[in-house]
Amino acid sequence: MTEELWDVVIVGGGPAGLTAGLYAARANLRSLLVEKLLPGGELLNTELIEDYPGFISTTGRELAEKMDEHARKFGLQIEQAAVEQIRREDGIFVLQTEDGAELRSRTVIMTAGGVPRKLEVPGEDEFAGRGVSYCAVCDGPLFRDKVVAVVGGGDSAFQEGIYLTRHASKVYIIHRRDEFRAQPILQDKARENPKIEFITSAAVDAIGGSQLVGWADVRSVRDGGLTRVPLDGVFVFIGFSPNSGLFEEHLEHDEQGFLFVSDRMETRVPGLYAAGDVRAQLARQITTAVGDATTAAIAAEHYLEDQAFQAERHRG
């Protein structure tokens, strides 16, 4: 992996990464995608997908497999590696991986998404993997006929809360306000579901139990009253923090770290692009991720053509 000079290295193998890879490979660019886990990204943590055009209802795993197969079919190379740092040396990007290897590329498209945000309350870390979870698809089946809580009021909390009713006997949705930012269709589905109970204007203060989670202390935001809710699991879906700090130089970002890019998905560094969940934007959907990534890959192609043209002119 070390000696080769790639045209495009894509960091992260979710829908944005796989789409950027598909477009780059189809443009005959020497393209490599590096993903620290399995290709698919957040899709692999999502059970049901009903808002990706052309697929009335599919699973995250199925869509991930199709995107992976599609990109590879057109020549995208995919390697399993964790990129730790990206720097520039003489106009070439050097990507350093966790195992000490270095990748060299003319352009980079960052599509590394983010990591789940934590509640940061007592008991959260202590009971991680023993009742506290950030992935309903991964851990939901462990809670058959159990009582669980989902924390959050966005699309993830609702989508995953609805999914958890397949396994759990009861699902609390605990949210700090009494209005939700989840899509109305998800809110309607949750309200119609007899297994879901809402605890609103409430914050989880602590999670506890003996060996496994046994309760959560829930504080009313209105009057400060504290209630100990008996339950077996707490699923935290309160957004995520972007993996936007890989590049050694400063890149413009919003207050949460999401990267600002141009309409070509380019950062302020020529040849360095960001697409999907890692960039600052209104909507974070699979559709917006694949759209961003298409733009980024085409912009990278144009950038490489311009560079080649300039080099040719310089020689002539």
Interaction with ligand NAP in 53-112: which residues (CB under 6 A)?
none
Using the rule CB under 6 A, is 295 a contact of ligand NAP? no
Catalytic hit among 7, 68, 139, 277: 139
Candidates 47, 51, 79, 197: give the one binding ligand NAP (CB under 6 A): 51
d(CA 34, CA 80): 6
Q: Which residue is nearest to ligand NAP (CB)?
A: 154
Shortest Cβ distance from residue 54 to ligand NAP (Å)? 15
Q: Which is catalytic among the residues 51, 135, 205, 217?
A: 135
Rank residues 105 and 288 by Cβ distance to ligand NAP and give the closer one. 288
Stretch that binds ligand NAP, among 53-61, 73-81, 237-245, 264-272 (CB under 6 A): 237-245
Q: Hunting for tokens 């609103």 — which residue is that?
A: 200
> Taking CB under 6 A as the rule, does residue 181 contact ligand NAP?
yes
The residue assigned the tokens 């699309």 is 155
Residue 264: partners with Cβ closer than 8 Å, 6 or more residues away: 273, 295, 296, 299
Contact between 155 and ligand NAP per CB under 6 A: yes
Name the segment binding ligand NAP (CB under 6 A); options: 8-16, 98-106, 152-160, 298-306: 152-160
Quote the CA–CA distance of 187 and 175 in Å, as a whole number: 13
177, 200 contact by CB (below 8 A): yes
Position 189 contacts ligand NAP (CB under 6 A) = no
Which of 88, 128, 154, 208 contacts ligand NAP by CB under 6 A?
154
Under rule CB under 6 A, residue 285 binds ligand NAP? yes
Using the 8-state DSSP alphabet, how is residue 128 labeled? B
* Minimum CB distance to ligand NAP, residue 199 (Å): 12
Q: Tokens 């869509």 — which residue? A: 63
Q: How far is the CB of 177 from ligand NAP (least distance, A)?
A: 5
153 binds ligand NAP (CB under 6 A): yes
Q: Residue 237, interface with ligand NAP (CB under 6 A)?
A: yes
Q: Smallest Cα–Cα separation from 156: which of 42, 75, 271?
A: 42
Choosing from 238, 296, 297, 299, the residue that interacts with ligand NAP (CB under 6 A) is 238
138 is catalytic: yes
Rounded distance, CA 84 to CA 99, Å?
9
Residues 6 or more apart in contact with residue 10 via CB below 8 angstroms: 17, 20, 21, 24, 31, 32, 33, 34, 108, 109, 111
How far is the C-alpha of 225 from the C-alpha of 221, rounded, in Å? 8
Instruction: Tell me the C-alpha distance between 7 and 304, whole Å.
Output: 8
Q: How far is the CB of 205 from ligand NAP (least distance, A)?
A: 11
**The two structure tokens encoding residue 213:** 């989670």
Q: Applying CB under 6 A, which part among 94-102, 126-134, 209-217, 282-290 lies near ligand NAP?
A: 282-290
3-state helix/strand/coil string of 35-60: ECCCCCHHHHHCCEECCECCECCEEH
| Residue 109 or 289 having the CB closest to ligand NAP | 289
Give the total of residues touching ligand NAP (CB under 6 A): 20
Is 135 noted as a catalytic residue in this protein?
yes
Q: What are phi and psi of 129, to 5 degrees?
A: 80, -5
Residue 68 known to be catalytic: no
Which residues make up the interface to ligand NAP (CB under 6 A)? 51, 119, 151-157, 159, 176-177, 181, 237-240, 283-285
Active site residues: 135, 138-139
